[in-house]
Structure 1
Amino acid sequence: MTMEELISLASSSNTTQSTIPQVHALNILRALFKDTRLGENIIPYVADGMQAAILGFMSSVWAVRNSSTLLFSTLITRIFGVKRGKDENSKKNRLTDLFPSPV
């Protein structure tokens, strides 16, 4: 219920009201998606979080665009992981063995 409410606030594009709740919702979502202790529990909300981040790019308010960019970056890391080795073609950097290294 909390995630749904945060995503709803983060996705709102109502320019007549204060943008402070939207910015806070985006920042809280970023912290939740970044927290490794939540693990698999947060995965069902990644798509909605990505949508909220992308919708925020169109805001006329800098704080919303900034928070959206930070959320987007966190979600990309959550989805694809981080680089584990210096060598670009290293097996450690692969998400799966379905795509062999182009050597």
Structure 2
Amino acid sequence: MLQKLLVLVFWIQLAWKSTQQLEQNPQFLHIQEGGNVTMHCNSSGTFTFFQWYREKPEQGPVLLMTLTKPKEVKEKKRIRAQFGEAKKDSSLLITAAQPGDAGTYL
């Protein structure tokens, strides 16, 4: 049986502070159904909070999680988000990826 291939695209937009440097890793990603993926965002400045969104083609962004405290971890089903201790980074882990996880992550 062949597994379906998912395409996950990671994209961040920071409109409120153009001097802030952001690094996202990976920017584009292809994984197989059932695989795990971790996405990272690192910043030169601090955030008061961090929000992860997923956007699907021809649909608006959907809020996945909001992180407000250093080292905070939130989980919803197969998705886990973590805020860095210095509030300069965040990661998003998707376990056992499914076709519905495909989209653009903001």
Structure with a larger share of its residues in helix: 1
Task: Specify the TM-score bucket, using the shorter chain as the normaliser.
Answer: under 0.3
TM-score using structure 2 length: 0.20
* Structure ID, larger Rg: 1
Q: Which has the higher contact order (CA 8 A, sep 6+)?
A: 2
Structure with a larger share of its residues in strand: 2
TM-score using structure 1 length: 0.20
